[in-house]
Chain A
Amino acid sequence: MSSVYERMFAGGTTSRREVLRTMAALGIVPITKLSVTNANAAEPLNIFTLSVYAQQKLYPDYADAASLNFSIFGEPNEAVEKLRSGFRPDLIGPAAWVIPRLVESANVRAIETSRIDNWGKIFPEILDFKDLKVDGKYYGVPWAWSPVSVMYRTDLAKKYVGAESWKILWDEEYAGRLGQRDSGEISAVQALLVMGEKDPYQTAAGRMGEIRDMLKKQKELLRFYWQSETDAAQAIVSGEVVATYAWPSTYQIAKRAGAPVAFMKPKEGTLFAVDTFVILNDTKVSDDQIYEFLNAALGSKTAQALLSEVGLCSANKAAFDAIDSKTREELGYEDPDALLANAVALASFSSEDRKAILGMFEEVKAGL
């Protein structure tokens, strides 16, 4: 029986060799990069950050915002782990309290503060934040901050309107209708504030037993521990929960959905978080590009975008104060200086306390 090729090409001029040559050429072409690229085109900046910040519209001061490349982490410890396993973005956007861990375990470098034009305009309370510095050098550029607090339904928890308190997350009246962040450290800080501590990071070591009791009591009242703020927002909007620990961006989501919610200023003290950008070593892009982005992150248009899009505040005091007062009042930021002066920063516990709290939290979650 004649071969397929012989039957195909009997009487024709095409040879098997020519067909194979053509097919090889067709195969090579798609894998060869044919696109014409501008030899001077900059590599896109790769930023590893929280989902709330992974939006190009938040960086209008950066000329090339459309080319920003975002990777998302859900939780800071997950981010540290990913960096350890070899992931190499150019910038990472952790909360400030993660910086000591990053410096210890990932390949990051100190900031050249002289290259940040608005460094002198950052809120002094934020610049003083201990976790930004390791061995006297700044490793994070603080660019955004926000109070973190409880979001609650004003129609379902009327007694807390005008009497806002962290105690709502321990209120047995709302058993099974409360939400909490899936974080031992954040739960412990709240418990210490409810216990009356003004400086929870200094006093945690002596009160571990009481913290455990508080966390156990709270666990029985919770509907869930949330890892994604969308879960918290959806639960509040549907009425599944009456109150939950939340970020301002979570509050924005719930408000836009039309839910009657308020973002507390608890009498025991508000917590606030500072978010930063940290530069990794071995970046694919130039330092000029990185510092251009960092300066843009502290720009005035970025400050406006942060507030209007996700309800967060710029660390650049001058830029933040320049935003119209009506917008700031609607979100409760009419006096950021007073807010920062009376708030407790979310910081890192000592390594011993952290280990104890995390172990305790997992035991509480397991029901032990």
Chain B
Amino acid sequence: MLNSEIRRGYALISPALILICGMLVLPMIGLIALSVTTDRQLSSFTLDNYSRIFALRLSAPGSVLPFALDNPIYLYLLAKSLAMSLLSTSAVLLLAYPAAFYVAFRVAKNRTLWLFIISLPFMTSYLLRVFAWRLILGHNGLVNSALLAIGVIDAPLDFLVYSNFAVVLTLAHAWAAFAILPIYVSLRKIDRSLVEASIDLGSGPSRTFWRIIFPLSLPGVISAAVLVFIPTVGDYVTPALVGGTNGTMIGSLVYALFTRADQPNLGAAVSVTMIVATVFATIGVTQVLRHCARRV
């Protein structure tokens, strides 16, 4: 029998627990059930959807590997999406860290105002921000118009939009606030006396940063990386709007399977595979960051 303390604890967390169960656990169970059945009514069990994703066949003679994927599109797009997300996450962290550092260490007054100003663009619709990048990077957009006007280029730069570059840049901007805030919180928690001690003992700013500040801010960096990496893997909107013909990512394929192709069971299997791959990739990324921190 649970004692009253534990019962009280459960009672306190029950609203959040119910919400998580209702909004997360049950849909996940539904998704997994859909992925191992033959139709929307979950009539009969099958692993055909997963075997379609992972099935191998003998390679053509002369190939490097003896086996090849029978339907490579699923794992290919998954790998591409993980790579694009990793790139976007790295870009976000590189952009967000200096901003968070500046607000945490250099801003003495009105820090809350700074944070509010940094967060303000992210209170607008995600879709509008992606469209804004199309206006900036487009054929007649801000960048091309400016460069044409000052004579740097003779014709608009086509690679700016409808390219993987545009996808990474747009994702990096769209998720920046989710990186700046946890890194800022982590930097603020650092005991300033440690920084002062490092300087007193003769370390320069660079050494102080890499030996004291960065390792102590790593929990925030890891949180930021996880917060950005996970949702960008399955992003559908950004590749659709700025990715062009090469912008297909796994999210686009899942959408196509559920709608145009009318194959929801296969779409569910791809989604579950994506979730599992993302979890393992996230664990990998965090372990790498922790390892780097220990080495520093």
Binding site for B on A (CB under 8 A): 75, 77-78, 80-81, 84, 101, 105, 176, 183-184, 219, 222-225, 227, 235, 238-240, 355, 358-359, 362-363, 365-368
Contacts and interface: CB of A to CB of B under 8 A. Distances in A.
A355 B72 contact: no
Contacts of B259: 75, 77-78, 80-81
Interface size class of B (residues with CB under 8 A): 20 to 34
Contact of A362 (B138, B245, B256): B256
Contacts of A240: 138-140, 156
A367 B244 CA distance: 12
A101 B261 CA distance: 11
A238 B262 contact: no
Contacts of A80: 259, 262
B260 A75 contact: yes
A184 B252 CA distance: 14
B262 A77 contact: yes
Contact of B253 (A219, A223, A235, A366): A366
Given A81-B259, A358-B260, A219 B77 contact: no
A235 B139 contact: yes
22 contacts: A77-B259, A80-B262, A81-B259, A84-B40, A105-B262, A176-B158, A223-B244, A224-B162, A225-B245, A235-B139, A239-B139, A358-B256, A358-B260, A359-B261, A362-B73, A362-B248, A362-B256, A363-B73, A365-B245, A365-B252, A366-B253, A368-B72
Contacts, number: 62
Interface of B: 40, 72-73, 76-77, 80, 138-140, 156, 158, 162, 240, 244-246, 248, 252-253, 256, 258-263
Given A77-B262, A184-B260, A368-B72, A238 B245 contact: no
Contacts of B253: 362, 366
Contacts of B140: 238, 240
A358 B245 contact: no
Given A238-B139, A240-B139, A366 B77 contact: yes
B261 A355 contact: yes
Contacts of A224: 162, 244-245
B246 to A, nearest CB: 7
Contacts of A227: 240
Contacts of B260: 75, 77, 183-184, 358
A223 B162 contact: yes
B193 to A, nearest CB: 41
Given A238-B140, A367-B248, 7 more contacts: A77-B259, A80-B262, A224-B244, A235-B139, A355-B263, A362-B253, A365-B245
Nearest to B244: A224
Contacts of B158: 176, 223
A80 B261 CA distance: 11
A251 B245 CA distance: 23
Contact of A219 (B138, B245, B258): B245
A368 B76 contact: yes
Nearest to B266: A359
Nearest to A105: B262
Nearest to B77: A366
B139 A368 contact: no
Contacts of A239: 139
Looking at A78, A81, A366, the one whose CB has the most chain B CB atoms below 10 A away is: A366
A88 to B, nearest CB: 18
B248 A366 contact: yes
Nearest to B69: A368
A38 to B, nearest CB: 37
Contacts of B240: 227
A75 B73 CA distance: 23
Contacts of A77: 259-260, 262
